[in-house]
Structure 1
Amino acid sequence: MTPELWQRAEGAVIALVALAGALALGGWWWPLVLFLVYDLSALGYVAGTRVGAFVYNLVHAYALPSLLLLWGVTVHGWDASSWSRWLLLIAVSWFFHVGVDRALGYGLKHDDSFQHTHLGWIGRGRPEG
């Protein structure tokens, strides 16, 4: 199995675990409702490919949802209070989005083209050869 396939499989597992987390929080539908919100980061490409890749990668890495999850758990705990629940639902929805993207082959972007990702080329932007 190639490293790219391992990363795609890992993304699928993370998406499933995130969905289970949302289910445990009583909001299994939130990852679906919020799914496209995280793709608004692609608007950074209006400022050029370098800025676009930076903004997109910032939102599509696991670091920020991990910090949000950590904040939700350490500051608010696992109880079902409104702040804790919302922070955790946003975090697991974010993990779900990134996991599904990775499972589908949409990886972190290189700054030369939106179609050039760490998992390979997507769409019609593939170079010849």
Structure 2
Amino acid sequence: MNKILLHIEGLAVLVLSLYFYGYGEFSWLLFFVLLLAPDISMLGYLINNKIGARVYNLFHTYTIVIIVIFCGVLFENQTVLAIGLIWSAHIGMDRMFGYGLKYPTDFKDNHLNRV
């Protein structure tokens, strides 16, 4: 049941991110270009699993995204806000599909399941 709730939570974050992105009338081209950008963090796995998990998790937690979105709103910077919304949509999409925060044991081990 907890896994299902986490998948639903991911869907909710994705839908809300898409809604606010559309409401802000940001560029959909920018959205599709940057949607998978946080996955560049997987390059940390080229060093080892421990570093890879830390870097991947840094780019796939909501904390930094919330700070980015907050800064975009606070400083009225539309580009920063758009990037934050794209980033949150990416994380929500990952969670919806079952890709969670990584454990240092193996890339496939995450807090939602073994992919």
Partner of 2:6: 7
Two-structure CA RMSD over aligned residues (Å): 1.0
Shift of 1:72: 1.2
Q: Which has the larger radius of gyration?
A: 1
CA distance in 1, matches of 2:56, 2:71: 22
CA distance in 1, matches of 2:84, 2:14: 12
What is the one-letter code of the residue matched to 2:34?
Answer: L
Unaligned runs of 5+ residues in structure 1 are: 77-83, 123-129
TM-score (norm 1): 0.85
1:65-123 CA deviation, whole Å, 9 max, x = no partner? Answer: 100011111222xxxxxxx110110000000000000000000000000000000100x
CA distance in 2, matches of 1:75, 1:85: 9
1:48-71 CA deviation, whole Å, 9 max, x = no partner? Answer: 000000000000010111000111
CA distance in 2, matches of 1:10, 1:89: 21
CA distance in 1, matches of 2:35, 2:46: 21
Q: Percent same amino acid among aligned pairs?
A: 32
Report the structure, 1 or 2, having the larger helix content.
2
Secondary structure of the residue that 1:119 maps to in structure 2? coil
Q: 1:13-24 to 2 correspondence within 5 Å?
A: 13-24=12-23
Partner of 2:104: 111
Partner of 1:85: 78
What is the one-letter code of the residue matched to 1:75?
Answer: F
Secondary structure of the residue that 2:36 maps to in structure 1? helix
- After superposition, the Cα gap between the structure-2 partners of 1:55 and 1:116, relative to the gap in structure 1 and judged at 3 Å, is same
- Residue 67 of structure 1 pairs with residue 85 of structure 2: no
Q: Alignment length, in residue pairs?
A: 114
Unaligned runs of 5+ residues in structure 2 are: none
Shift of 1:33: 2.1
